[in-house]
Structure 1
Amino acid sequence: MDALLLYDSASDEDDNDDKTTTNKNRKRSFPSDQLKLPVKRQALPQLPSFFSPIHKPSSSSQDHQGRTRSKPALLDSWPTHVYIQIPTCEQIQTILGRVTTQDATIHSMISNDNSFHLSLTKCLYLKEHQLDGFADMIQKRLGDTSRFTISFAQLSLLTNEENTRSFLTIEVGSGYNELMKQLKLVDQVVKHYGQPIFYEPPRFHASIAWSLKKDPLENIIQNSPEQLMKDLAYIEYEVSSVFIRMGNRLVKIKLR
């Protein structure tokens, strides 16, 4: 069993606060002797969005499959994440099929585009006026780097910094050194914005499932067929792009 690694649980799944405008119609009653003929009124224009009340996302664990926020939702705090997309393959689908059918407390982390994320940052929190500058600096540093290939070597169990969730991950074997070069460039930008850099030493991985409990994931690792991981290790993935998710904004950086 690999040692547990502490890392941020916030993901491309924590969203920025929604802004909505609410209008309340209130009625007043008058004595009958004060009633006047109705006067036709023009509708007032809607107030700009910065006057709108802020509705914070629900913090109830019942709304998020038992998950809890690692940080409270704050105004003008945009969760930001730099990552590489990993497409699913038959071997990963087989692993997911085994884990999600054996235990209902284990949840798949496959995204809507049928891929997984390999992180190059923790979940960062930037102000809105910082977003464009952050993306531009990442673009300048990574845009001139060459694409490369990676493969995965083993299943492992990682947990977040609050010990509230555990993750079944596949760790990178081949391509580790190339990822380190990318990480050093990204860390330069992260430090420039006063944000925490990636974990040291880095264990590059893609999380494929999560659970509130460690035991079900440990059982999966111990009982997974050895041949399944050997087959997975033979599959190479070309890394040709890096993505930046900033709240509801997505930036794609193509490598040379």
Structure 2
Amino acid sequence: MAGLDALKSYGSDIDSSSESDDGVPDESIPTSRQEPGFKNQVQKRSPTAEISTLPLPGEILSMFSSPSSETSNPIEHQGRIRSFAHTPGNWATFVYIPAETPSLSSLTETLISCLPQDLTFHPSDDLHLSLSRTVCLQFHWIDPFIQSFRERVGRLRSFRCHVEQVDVYTNDEETRTFLGLKIGAGHEVLCDLVKLADDCLQEFSLPVFYEDPSFHVSFCWCVGDVSSRIGPKVLQELQNKLNNHLGELSVDVREIRCKSGCKKFVIPLR
């Protein structure tokens, strides 16, 4: 409310103003206002004279801070680093399938306990299957993108995919290492969904998914590239734990979700 009050106060100091189509004050049109010491007089200006403007209140300026003023502090995010710089108007967006099930959640706790104690692995915030990279979507593109994707997948039927293997992954920047539960049965249907998502992304000239995707549910992560320290012995131990639960580990795909910044969209399947 402070910013709104300040804006009202700023606007009330000027009797009239003119703006061009791009929102910049048009200096070709003279303005008039009462100046201190000139009671009931109007000071006329030449069209070519320089027009002085009142400074914007601090509350308003803070609403439009420059990109350089917004930084990501890794300490506040468990050491995580942004994959790309924050730019006002760009919303981090990705398409995914929720995979938060009691059986998977319980298993991931067991698997994390088997990891080397000298590595700091954090449990993932939410379990999901990614169907796209994380891309930058401009705000005015969000609704058209969702509508385009909804039209493509809205007629698809729900299906089930199964976890079969533990594997290790790193992100493109090699700033984090992930352990994931790799999907076996259901892989081809997931590829079809990625193709539909790719078609939408290409409409907006955005990068598509990986050419040969390895669909997986990341259940924990560690800062940096420590994949070389998750050797065959550790992976085999994790796989043995997984093998004891294979019959009960599946993901029922009944909806596709898209997260864009703070916005979440749900597209149900038939």
Structure showing greater relative contact order (alpha-carbon pairs closer than 8 Å, 6 or more residues apart): 1
Aligned to 1:83: 96
SS in 2 for 1:238: strand
1:92–1:186 Cα change, 3 Å: same
Whole-angstrom distance in 1 between the partners of 2:229 and 2:109: 13
* Cα deviation digits, residues 71-120 of structure 1 (max 9, x gap): 11111110001000002333542332442585361000043xxxx11000
Whole-angstrom distance in 2 between the partners of 1:81 and 1:194: 15
Q: Structure 2 length normalisation: TM-score?
A: 0.70
Aligned to 1:247: 261
* Cα deviation digits, residues 110-166 of structure 1 (max 9, x gap): 43xxxx110000001011110000000010000011111100110000101111111
Q: Which runs of 4+ in 1 moved over 4 A?
A: 20-24, 46-51, 215-220
1:195 aligns with 2:209: no
1:127 aligns with 2:142: no
The CA deviation at 1:191 is: 0.9
Matched ranges for 1:97-116 at <5 A: 97-99=110-112, 103=117, 105-111=120-126, 116=127
* Cα deviation digits, residues 178-237 of structure 1 (max 9, x gap): 111111111110111111110110111111100123356446423225253352354332
Whole-angstrom distance in 1 between the partners of 2:267 and 2:191: 17
1:67–1:50 Cα change, 3 Å: same
Matched ranges for 1:1-256 at <5 A: 52-54=63-65, 57-90=70-103, 92-99=105-112, 103=117, 105-111=120-126, 116-212=127-223, 213-214=226-227, 217-218=230-231, 220-224=234-238, 226-256=240-270
Structure 1: 5+ residue stretches without partners: 1-19, 25-45
Aligned to 2:49: none
Aligned to 2:25: none
Aligned to 2:13: none
* 8 Å contact from structure 2 (residues 93, 136) kept in 1: yes
Whole-angstrom distance in 1 between the partners of 2:122 and 2:3: 35
Pairwise CA RMSD: 2.9
The share of aligned pairs that are identical, in percent, is 27
Structure with larger Rg: 2
Structure 2: 5+ residue stretches without partners: 7-56
1:137–1:49 Cα change, 3 Å: farther
